[in-house]
Amino acid sequence: MKENNLRDFYKKGETVELTISDIAEKDQCFGKLENGTGVLVRGMLAIGDRVEATITRVRPTYIEAVAGKVLSYSADRVEPECPVFGVCGGCKWMHVSYDTQVRYKQKKVHDALVHIGGIKGITVKPALPAPGIMHYRNKVEFSCSSKRYLLPEELKQEVLEKPKDFALGFHAPGNFEKVLEIDTCYLAKECMNSALAITREFAFEQGLAPYAAREHTGFLRNLMLRYSEERAELMVNLVTSWHDPELMGAYRDRLLSRMPGQEMTIVNNVTTRKNTVAVGEKEYVVHGDGVIQERLGDLRFRISANSFFQTNTRQAEALYDGIMKMAGLKENDTVYDLYCGTGTITLYLAERCRRAVGLEIVESSLADAAENALRNGIANASFYRVDLKNFHTLLGTLEEFGFPRVIVTDPPRAGMHPKALKTMVRLQPETIVYVSCNPANLARDAKEICASGYRLEEVQPVDMFPHTSHIEALACFRRTV
């Protein structure tokens, strides 16, 4: 069959049968019909599943479909522990064994580098598995909404057990307004789930109005929770539209009375912005000192409500050890750490070189980074506030440290800003260690780095997020010219 004749053979709404042969982005998979026609299937499936799928769109070279009945299951299938798996958009891979997840993730990184980056002959190492695959997250963010996402079985009920106009949980996939009510998140710490239940109970008792995103009304917006592995300390950050001291005092008393013995700090972030982001314009400390302490290796870190910190503490050490190994630091080196956040990588680097320089735009993160350097007695780390797209404007200031032999960059999910990447390769460090949470954007940037006189020598995926499709990857580039 000629590819350009697909529309003559297939119509929207028709049903086809196929075996899933690959995993695609988000909750999509890929397979082929018996005649070789490619089908992109939406649904949480596993490689080896044979499914019945309904065509949703016929494109010139392939078909799009949505999965229906699974006719036979892959040998990699397991029973997901979460009762809302498949509805909640978080744990997209809880239905396959963990060994399979790790294998999928290695392939995801490899395929991105080959097909997007155009990098041939690269060997991607097996992904480093996480030591714990449940309750591993040290940060969880719940959203509050006036529109609750109804489960499929609820749509058939005449009388609902829960109100439709309040929900505290996770945003429904692809919907900024509706929130899926969550009782237990299996990736969160147990104390986080307790705080979630207490907050929901308190909100009902007090009649707190949930935030309505479209109308920009309501009081309760988000519940963001952080946890220290070292100190077993919980941070509760309630994000609201305004500050109510009396109400926050009652909320503090409820948490402390219901969670006796739990080390805790409580903060109230307040925002008036017309969005659902859990970052306040102003912060009020309700209980404790408003920060938690964490340890990575020999270093201790101060983490505030809005600071960046790796969400899997135990696996973060494996990630940072991998960075150090790739960097191959020498005693007299100067190292730059781009997108340094709270300075965790910068301080790791500083212990093994002459000078480490961290660059970041978020002011609260830089304050934490400076405090972290002080509390760890590290005097050879410096931090500068800069939008990395304007990295070139800071080079004159940084000349006093000398130009770097090694640069480590840990950009956000969108990847490096093109101007930042251009400045980075202009400095011509011998080694670039790229830390990525998005294989597609790693591949895009790797293509540019390799075109600027570098060779991609090593790629090591590190699984920070079991049961999700996300994967962290370390890529080591060496200068060739």
In the Cβ-directed half-sphere of 98, how many Cα atoms lie within 13 Å? 12
**Separation in Å, CA 365 to CA 220, 317, 336, 368, 372:** 25, 20, 17, 5, 10
Position with higher pLDDT, 481 vs 382? 382
Q: Do 338 and 463 lie in a common domain? A: yes
CA distance 31 to 16: 11
pLDDT, residue 1, reads 46
pLDDT, residue 145, reads 94
CA distance 369 to 385: 11
For residues 312-316, average pLDDT: 94
For residues 373-396, average pLDDT: 93
How do residues 60-91 score in pLDDT, each as one tens digit?
Answer: 889 999 999 999 999 999 999 999 988 887 88
CA distance 315 to 319: 6
* Residue 14: pLDDT over 90: yes
Q: Do 327 and 234 lie in a common domain? A: no
Q: What domain range includes position 469? A: 312-479
Active-site residues: which are they? 437
CA distance 105 to 436: 13
Number of domains into which the chain is organized: 3
Count Cβ atoms below 10 Å from residue 256 Cβ, excluding itself: 13
Q: Do 338 and 199 lie in a common domain? A: no
Residue 118 inside a domain? The answer is no
Q: Do 162 and 250 lie in a common domain? A: yes
Q: How many residues does the chain have?
A: 481
Q: Do 208 and 329 lie in a common domain? A: no
Type of residue numbered 50 = R
407 neighbors 432 (Cβ within 8 angstroms)? yes
CATH number of the structural domain spanning residue 200? 2.40.50.1070
Give, rounded to a whole angstrom, the gap between the first and last alpha carbons of the chain.
48
pLDDT, residue 435, reads 97
Listed in order, strand segments (DSSP E) in 426-479 are: 431-436, 454-462, 472-479
Q: What percent of the chain has pLDDT over 90?
A: 78
* Residue 248: pLDDT over 80: yes
Question: Which of 54, 72, 90 is the last residue before a domain boundary?
Answer: 72
Residue 91 inside a domain? The answer is no
CA distance 244 to 255: 17
370 neighbors 342 (Cβ within 8 angstroms)? no
Count Cβ atoms below 10 Å from residue 283 Cβ, excluding itself: 20
pLDDT, residue 4, reads 54
Residue 301 inside a domain? The answer is no
pLDDT-derived band at 189, boundaries 50, 70, 90: very high
Residue 300, φ and ψ in degrees, nearest 5: -115, 140
pLDDT-derived band at 3, boundaries 50, 70, 90: very low
**Separation in Å, CA 164 to CA 154, 160, 181, 391:** 11, 8, 10, 48
Q: Do 334 and 411 lie in a common domain? A: yes
How do residues 393-416 score in pLDDT, each as one tens digit?
Answer: 988 888 888 889 999 999 988 899
